[in-house]
Amino acid sequence: MSAIIILTISSLLILFFGFSKQRGVILPLSFIALIASFAMLAMGNNFWSEYLTNMISIQSSSKSFALLICAIAICIFPFFHELIKRGNEELADFIGIILLSIVGAIVMVSYQNMMTLFLGIEILSIAMYVLAGANRRSVNSNEASIKYFILGSFASAILLFGIALYYAATGSLSIINPKLINSELYQFSLLIIFSGFSFKVALAPFHFWVADVYQGTPTLFVTVMATIVKIAGFGALAQFVLSQNSVLPSWINWFFALIILASMFIGNIFAYSQSSVKRILAFSSVVQSGFILMGIINLDANNSWSLIYYLTAYALASIVTFIVVYFVEEQSGSDHLDSFAGLSKSNPVLAVVMSIALISLAGVPLTAGFMSKLYVLRNINSIGFTALMVIALVLAAVSFYYYFKIINAMFSPSGDRRWSVHFSYSAVLVFITIAIIFLGVMPGVLHGFLG
């Protein structure tokens, strides 16, 4: 709770600083606020952990999700220094909005009551709609914003409808120990609620917004979209599934299996033929969402770490890929595959970190991506979906195709552009890449850290 308060106050302060002349303090202040809230979460004093008549509770798994959100935000924030290039006047707006979106994300993963969930989703989503349109003079950015806003508010409405049905079926908005009054209505409400969630985390067949929005949104903000929104969405879904474990009907596993199958097929097939790297990554994020959902099937408090592990691996790799795409786009003006040509020659550091991140997304051993896939695949195999596991792995061969298409482009000799990236950015990227490999080489560490 203290983390939420710190972040909210600092975001308000930052919006205020936007009016004043001291714009230099904006970035340091936000960074300090993030670190402080991370520390507050890590220390976890119980006095502040439950709040508002049990509508929010930051404990056990929700605490891990909140910590992950803060950690990922800390990893992304150094790159927001690039925003200063765009002119000072907008900096305060963007940083303030992003801090608010992190507040929304933390609320989303720690809700105990459907009202809080909706509040969190709206705080996060509205911030994202604004960020999608951040590039006001670009048509693509405006299109992305409008598309995301219309489809997103539609999905929110569906979720709200599901919440209403849930209330009708259980007689309470609280998700703790649901008492079923009307079982059929409850099952229907689950269907609606899961559909709403599927939109937020871009699972097929609710993925249609993702490619256009990722392509239009300024790449720095896509990094936030691909990491924090996804963690928050899956965190909220996990909280819901965990609390409903005792009353979930058995068909829900098949429903998830169907969504996973659809995401694998659609994501892989659409990504296969793209030539814009951002679109490839957007469709690949649909596939990754499918894999993450495998960790949600049959979720209980004992195996929620595998979900957190996957989200960590995915978020770290996504940061690296999108930031590298940002730098390439910044210097060549396009995110087409051809504009990556010659990156290995002119800036080997970027090429190597990008390669490792893509290899991790593809799931080669000794990277975090492999371990996370191993965990979730073993999870679905152990509950009897062996055929799904085999199909997912066979389709993963397609994903190797498009990830390595990007690597091929980077290592092709043509192009003699000069990519110059400030040393500190490279250092952060290298640091994140080392974290990816470290998690892959010693997978036990994260679990040990989470307890």
Binding site for another protein (CB under 8 A): 305-306, 359, 364-366, 371, 374-375, 377-378, 381-382, 386, 389-390, 393-394, 396-397, 400-401, 404, 408, 411-412, 443-444, 447
Q: Give 115 or 352: the residue with its C-beta nearer to another protein.
A: 352
Q: In whole angstroms, how close is the CB of 418 to another protein at the nearest point?
A: 18
Q: How far is the CB of 446 from another protein (least distance, A)?
A: 10
Q: Which is nearer to another protein, 53 or 414 (CB)?
A: 414
Residue 400: Cβ-neighbour burial (10 angstroms; 0-12, 13-18, 19+): middle
**What is the C-alpha separation between 392 and 386, in angstroms, rounded?**
10
Q: Closest approach of Cβ 116 to another protein, in Å?
A: 31
336: three-class secondary structure by DSSP: strand
Cβ neighbours of 403 (radius 10 Å): 25
Q: Which is nearer to another protein, 131 or 292 (CB)?
A: 292
Q: How far is the CB of 407 from another protein (least distance, A)?
A: 8
Task: With beta carbons less than 8 A apart as the criterion, state whether 40 and 6 touch.
Answer: yes
Nearest partner of 313 among 126, 96, 71, judged by Cα: 71
Q: CB of residue 388 vs another protein: minimum separation in angstroms?
A: 10
- Measured between its terminal Cα atoms, the distance across the chain in Å is 21
Q: Could you give the CA distance from residue 229 to residue 227 in angstroms, rounded to a whole number?
A: 6
Minimum Å gap between C-beta 366 and another protein is 6
Which CB atom, from 28 or from 444, has the smaller least distance to another protein? Answer: 444
174: β partners: 113
The answer for residues whose C-beta is within 8 angstroms of residue 320's C-beta and 6 or more apart is: 353, 354, 356, 357, 429, 432, 433, 436
CB 428, CB 352: distance < 8 Å: no
CA quadruple 410, 413, 419, 421: dihedral, nearest 10: 50
Residue 423 Ramachandran class (φ > 0 left, ψ -120 to 50 alpha, else beta): alpha
Helix, strand, or coil here: 57?
A: strand
Q: Residue 411: exposed, middle, or buried by beta-carbon count in 10 A (0-12, 13-18, 19+)?
A: middle
When the beta carbons of 182 and 346 are compared against another protein, the nearer one is 346
At residue 442, the 3 state secondary structure works out as coil
Residue number with CB closer to another protein (183 or 408): 408
Residue 15 or 391 with smaller CB distance to another protein: 391
Residue 74 Cβ, how far from another protein at the closest point, in Å?
26
Residue 102 Cβ, how far from another protein at the closest point, in Å? 29
Minimum distance between the CB of residue 348 and another protein, rounded to whole angstroms?
9
Residues 45 and 58 sit within 8 Å (Cβ to Cβ): no
Distant-in-sequence, close-in-space partners of 280: CB < 8 Å, separation ≥ 6: 271, 274, 402, 405, 406
Q: Residue 60 in 3-state DSSP?
A: helix
Nearer to another protein, 9 or 394 (CB): 394
Q: Which is nearer to another protein, 422 or 447 (CB)?
A: 447
Here the tokens at position 8 are 């909210």
- Could you tell me how many residues make up the chain? 451
| Closest distance of CB 5 from another protein, Å | 35
The smaller minimum CB distance to another protein, of residues 145 and 306, is found at 306
